[in-house]
Amino acid sequence: MAGRRCVVVGAGPVGCRRALLLAAAGAEVTVVAPMATAEPVGEEFVARAGSGDLSWERRPFEPADAAGAFLVLAATDDPSVNRAVSAAAAGGTLVTRADHAPDSDVTFPSVVERGPVTVTVATSGRAPVVGRWLADRIDERLDEVTGLDAGGLALLVDLAAELRPSGGAGVTPAAGDWRSALRRSMLDPVLLDLIRSGDRAAARERLRTCLSSS
């Protein structure tokens, strides 16, 4: 998506989330909407628009807005507007309607992010609301399930990347199956306590020991 022009029509929760997702992927995003949702995702969207990460046209949609776009996303709560957005897209432009998956060329998963970790939930476009509901439940309990907050997960990812066999400081497990060894190592309570305390050096050495002995 890097450098592709994408137009999002509507700045409700769905439109804001998808605009932010596209911007994070490097797309050139223009959002057309008179106002944005007051939910937290709307606040993030407004801040990103203010910093120039994406463009926000604060007005109703016009057919000319779709001209030259790689992707046009209709995400208003008015089906007639969404139909007009879809109809305005020229041949070769990908279209997605948040309210009607059968008319979409592209579907978007619901996303949960924790630092470098991304979890996606999709329903093949059949019930995005269910996907969002599941993603919200995962978001609420991810720290509890993993036992690590965003900082802890980021540290675990860094250490695993450093110690993988292809890395300069890589470790080859005794059994030779690095992925299985890592999965077992991540259950080690001492390792998790060191990660939670933020002791990088000790956590790195503990992970090395766990991997070597697996």
Query: What is the DSSP secondary-structure string of 102-171?
Result: GG-S----EEEEETTEEEEE--TTS-HHHHHHHHHHHHHHHHHHHS--HHHHHHHHHHHHHHSTTSTT--
Return the pLDDT at 173. Answer: 67
Q: Is 8 helix (H, G, I), strand (E, B) or coil?
A: strand
Distance of CA 28 to the CA centre of its chain: 17
Task: Read off the tokens for 65.
Answer: 């807005």
Residue (of 8, 86, 106, 92) closest to 48 by Cα position:
8
From first to last of its 214 residues, the chain has per-residue pLDDT tens of 889 999 999 999 999 999 999 999 999 999 999 999 999 999 999 999 999 999 999 999 999 999 999 999 999 999 999 999 999 987 889 999 988 888 888 888 888 888 889 999 988 877 888 988 999 999 999 999 899 999 999 999 999 998 888 755 567 766 568 888 899 999 999 999 999 999 999 999 999 999 888 7
198-to-9, 36, 38, 147, 173 alpha-carbon distances in Å? 43, 38, 35, 13, 25
Return the pLDDT at 167. Answer: 56
Domain 5-108 CATH (choose: 3.40.640.10, 3.40.50.720, 3.40.605.10, 2.40.50.180): 3.40.50.720
Residue (of 83, 106, 81) closest to 95 by Cα position:
106
Whether 109-145 and 5-108 are alike in CATH topology: the answer is: no
- Per-residue b/e over 21-58, b at no fewer than 16 CB within 10 Å? bbbbeebbbbbbbeebbeeebbeebbebbeeeebebbe
User: Are 153 and 145 within 8 A, CB to CB?
Assistant: no
Q: Is 19 helix (H, G, I), strand (E, B) or coil?
A: helix
Model's pTM, two decimal places? 0.70
Q: Max CA-CA distance within the chain?
A: 64
Q: Is 60 helix (H, G, I), strand (E, B) or coil?
A: coil
Domain boundaries, the chain: 5-108, 109-145, 150-213
At 48, the amino acid letter reads: R
Q: Is 74 helix (H, G, I), strand (E, B) or coil?
A: strand
What's the CATH code, domain 109-145? Answer: 3.30.160.110
Burial class (CB in 10 A: 0-12, 13-18, 19+), 126: exposed
Residue (of 120, 198, 111, 118) closest to 159 by Cα position:
198
Dihedrals phi, psi of 52, to nearest 5 degrees: 90, 10
